[in-house]
Copies of this chain bind each other. A is one copy, B any other.
Amino acid sequence: MPPGTRQIGIFLFDHFEELDAVGPYEVFGAWSTRAPEDGWSVRTMSMGGVEVRGANGLVIRPDEDAQHVGHLDVLVYPGGKGTRALLANRDHLEWVRSMRASVPLLASVCTGSLVLAAAGLLTGRPATTHWASLDYLASLDPTIDVRRDARFVDDGDTVTSAGVSAGIDMALHLVGRLASPERAREVRHLIEYDPAPPF
């Protein structure tokens, strides 16, 4: 990787929701593979670098230990039922706050925003989450301006998205913001993202 490459880290944990993480991973991976001249790369990480098992059972071996990951430009925090334990874990919330202090852009997918809220990072800010957790998000911090109908909410250094598949849309938005609308359209074309839900 050339020096100066900007780093996107996707944090994984037991019972993360698979598409929450792999949707953005695909978008950022297709971007970095197709346009290395843009100077971005994506990798996965977990606490201790240990293997994690997703909410539906998928086993991923992360690239790195999240506690020794070095500089990140973007941290993606996916959702999944595993967030319930993490948002009650003080040490973990302390780590999330330490990432906030060093990472310019935090981006959550689905119920990942519950952990950001529990860490106190969404106070007084607009944010969203999976439709089934909107009330829970509001209960974690009543000062949050919960955007119930948003696909994603870009609040500058913090971007939150709605449930699961919304992470794909949020990631494309970030490619447009971090590179250009043209690059985002190119990535969209590469992953043939012309969705046509049959139901």
A159-173 near B? 1/0 per residue, CB < 8 Å: 000111110110011
Q: Among B33, B55, B151, B165, point to the contact of A55 (Cβ < 8 A).
A: B33
Q: CA–CA, A193 to B60, complex, Å?
A: 23
Q: Among B43, B54, B196, B198, point to the contact of A184 (Cβ < 8 A).
A: B198
Q: Considering the complex, which residues of chain A in the window 152-199 have a beta carbon less than 8 Å from any beta carbon of chain B?
A: 162-166, 168-169, 172-173, 175-176, 181, 184-185, 188-199
> Other than the known A165-B191, A172-B197, A195-B195, what 10 A-B pairs have Cβ atoms closer than 8 Å?
A19-B25, A19-B26, A19-B191, A43-B57, A131-B192, A175-B199, A184-B199, A188-B197, A188-B199, A193-B195
Contacts A/B (CB < 8 Å), 12 sampled:
A18-B22, A18-B29, A22-B58, A26-B56, A33-B56, A42-B57, A60-B60, A110-B192, A130-B192, A131-B192, A164-B192, A188-B199
